[in-house]
Structure 1
Amino acid sequence: MAKKMKSFCLSFCSFVALSLILLQMPVPCYAFDIQIDVSPNVLNIQSKSTIVTVHTDIAYKLVDVETVSLNGVDMDWWKYDDRGNFVAKFDSDKIKTLDDLIIGDYTLTLTGDTIDGDTFEGSHEIMVIDNIPASRRD
């Protein structure tokens, strides 16, 4: 009987120890999706535009503003809209000079973390053109 009890206790303790170890292992973290709307929807490489604005559907108070970027470009400034959602502003010259920027359809992805450490991301496809505006033509 003592042998069975010893075997049971050893098995039970091993199970508890393994369970505790597994509970402490890091869990893979996946970003949750947000909706974004990028303005301008058409980005002209030749224009003198100065700002790219990204409207989101995530509450302003949830965002850790130090972590937000658009295709790796840090924000210039931010605010909240009339619904309390986060709005990010980026220097358009930094967007226009992205290494992988292509003429045509191009996807911009906003990423960041919440104040609780959860990662979020949202993507929006824009059109990139390279036209000299009529006001600047000879």
Structure 2
Amino acid sequence: MEIPNNIYQKIIEEGEKQLPYEACGFISGQNNKVRSFWPLVNEIRSRHRFFVSKSKVHQKIQEIHNTREQLYAVFHSHPTTAAIPSSYDLRNHPVDSIDMVIVSYKLDSPQLKWFQIDQSSYKNISWLLSS
């Protein structure tokens, strides 16, 4: 997966802006290249969970479809823990065909990891930062 630097920066900035709470959103694109980042509002403003109502999720997915992009991943941040899916993350992930991106702010510099989800397990997916 290829992530342009400007989109990568938007993802990192959204996570920082929402601290100390978890940030969330969608990542979409075409041909294994990220083209858009779609921030969402974490309606429960929690440090350890995120929640977005079904109506807002469906509305944002419709906007993504209108751009003719493919929904690649659900993004969320971990303000104080590593960029590894928790059991809660895995249990509540919507569908295995959509990946999960987590940005951790546990260390001095943010860490972004991309995961393919398969029921209750995950696999690290490599990604490349492009200009």
More strand by share: 1
TM-score range, shorter-chain basis? Answer: 0.3 to 0.5
Name which structure has the greater RCO, CA cutoff 8 Å, separation 6+: 1
Higher Rg of the two aligned structures:
1
Query: Could you tell me the TM-score, scaled by structure 1's length?
Result: 0.31
Query: Could you tell me the TM-score, scaled by structure 2's length?
Result: 0.32
